[in-house]
A and B are shown apart, each in its own frame.
Chain A
Amino acid sequence: MDVSCWDGTLSLNEFSRAARTFAEKWKIGNSAFPPWLWVNVPKRPFVASQQVDGFLSLENICLIRPSKVCGAEVSHLEEEETGFSEKEVAIDDATLVLSNHHEMHYYDFHIVYSASYRVPVLYFRGYYSDGCPLQLNEIEKDLPACSAKVLLESKWTFITQEEHPYLNRPWYKLHPCGTSEWMKLLFLGEAALAEKRVAIELYLVSWFSVVGQVIGLRIPIEMMNDRTN
């Protein structure tokens, strides 16, 4: 598909494909971190669609705030789960100055397809180690500084609290209304270098390179390098 007439969106089927590609590349490029898992949505009896519906899930992630901890490195991920080998985590124990362990913040991230906006949407929620949910003002402290600022300025339109489309519980989401536009710009930039085609399976990789920064999840450069699949 030619980039110039692409509108920046993708279909549900394309989303499923892109999700697979994204999860694979993440696994390879981010091997120290837990993988994204595809969760199938049970087909409801009255839904006309015959397509496979699902979303990507990354859960139990502890976001360490950058530069709040003395001597700490730039924010990276650490999984707090039994059975996870500590050797695999690139973290210097001596710099982990978190006074109260019960104040650790955990996050679940879901990448869900929006049928209205025809783009992926990031849903997330934060909680303490006992499962108590985090309020937005507490989540704010875990976000990179520029995101917190945007949040302050556009309280109702940037991060909104909505019902998770499949889990029927309140989750936070990054509002998707601008997504198709900046995705088109991203791919246009790529097309200038390489082919004019839109490699739709790379949609989520590019998408996450932007969205991840909002919540402080970095995407390693290795994931972006291989463009020729």
Chain B
Amino acid sequence: MEAQKYVWEGAIPLQIHLNESEVTTLLLLLPALILAPRIGYLPLLIPLIKPHFAATLPPGVDTVWFDYKGLPLKWYIPTGVLFDLLCAEPERPWNLTVHFRGYPNNLLIPCEGEDSVKWSFINSLKEADYIISGNCKNVMHMSQFDQLELWHSVMNGNLEAYLRTSSKLKFGIVEDEYTLKIDLCSQKSRKTTGEVGMGGQMKTGKCFTLHDALKSLMPEFLVDKSLIDEESFRLEGEDEQVILSEDLSSNRMAAEGREISCQSVESTCTSGAAEIKLVRIQGIEPKLEIPFSWVVNNLKNPEHFLHICVCLKFPQVNSLDR
């Protein structure tokens, strides 16, 4: 319980700068300083940010979006995950730029304020429900009132209200046990990508750790192996941005009824084979020997997804002439 409280109380200090081209005043414009909840979402902060810049904005309709070093930020990803993913070296405060115009519609899904974020949250919850129980009934059968209450508990960072309401979801809790139940392995086989090799763990009677979970998702990077094809790690200018914020939603894994979405950041490394530089969940770098069930139960986000940010090291590549 303690750990969950810490996670819910976690926040990222943001320093929000207004996009230069939108400043219409000669006065010195100070950036807005906001404490953003880790489990929250950037668009929810707009009511706090807007008043700060309102006087300087040009007239017209606002379409708010954020960027970090030029990279438009995906608003439907929890703030804490964005930070862990994009700042290998945590930047405090985290400097972001806010835009009120010129929404990049070709790159970012439009956001119509709180409603968009709420529905994105509910849809993610449905997805988790489907993966866990094979259908979306748990979420669909939740009353409108309960759904709203759940959403509000997330918006307000109210863990108590969240636990109360989410218990109606009947997702069940992942057992914090040292040996997995046999049931898990004999469940109808799921031929999704990255199927967990939990059977192997069963035989040794050992506990399923975070390391085991990562190994099933990214086996190549947990064993020391030299790269075969350097070409595949060439980072082109525009693609680099895309890779940085890439959500490997195709890389899913069913682990004791919970789901992980694995996101990774590529960074150049000094030498040696490709390997995992660090693993960050909710801003902490857990020891890989920790039982995975603990990680899931305590570090998951309110929409029942566990976001694991992985920083990979690749050998330095010389730019190839084309």
Cα distance, A116 to B133, chains bound together (Å): 11
The answer to whether A118 touches B250 (Cβ under 8 A) is: no
Known: A7-B188, A117-B130, A165-B250. A47 touches B221 (CB 8 A): no
Is B29 on the interface with A (CB-CB < 8 A)? Answer: no
The answer to whether B123 touches A133 (Cβ under 8 A) is: no
- Number of A interface residues in the complex (CB < 8 A): 32
Known: A169-B107, A170-B109. A116 touches B188 (CB 8 A): no
Considering the complex, which residues of chain A in the window 1-58 have a beta carbon less than 8 Å from any beta carbon of chain B?
A: 7, 11-14, 44-49, 51, 53
Most buried by B among A115, A117, A169, A170: A115
Considering the complex, which residues of chain A in the window 89-130 have a beta carbon less than 8 Å from any beta carbon of chain B?
A: 115-118
Known: A168-B242, A170-B109. A115 touches B193 (CB 8 A): yes
**Smallest CB separation, B133 vs chain A (Å):** 11
Is A152 on the interface with B (CB-CB < 8 A)? Answer: no
Among B11-19, B45-53, B84-92, B212-220, the one that faces the other chain is: B212-220
Cα distance, A165 to B251, chains bound together (Å): 11
Q: SS class of chain A's interface: helix, strand, loop or mixed?
A: loop
Task: Pull 19 A–B residue pairs with CB atoms less than 8 Å apart, ordered by A.
Answer: A11-B192, A12-B191, A47-B251, A48-B194, A48-B216, A49-B194, A53-B250, A117-B127, A118-B190, A161-B109, A163-B74, A163-B247, A165-B249, A168-B242, A170-B106, A170-B110, A177-B126, A177-B140, A181-B135
Query: What residues of chain B have their CB less than 8 Å away from a CB belonging to chain A?
Result: 74, 105-110, 115, 119, 122-123, 126-127, 130-131, 134-136, 140, 188, 190-194, 216-221, 232-233, 242, 246-252, 259, 264, 274, 310, 312
Besides A48-B194, A116-B259, A133-B106, 7 more A-B contacts (Cβ < 8 Å) are A12-B192, A45-B233, A46-B264, A47-B248, A48-B193, A160-B119, A180-B135
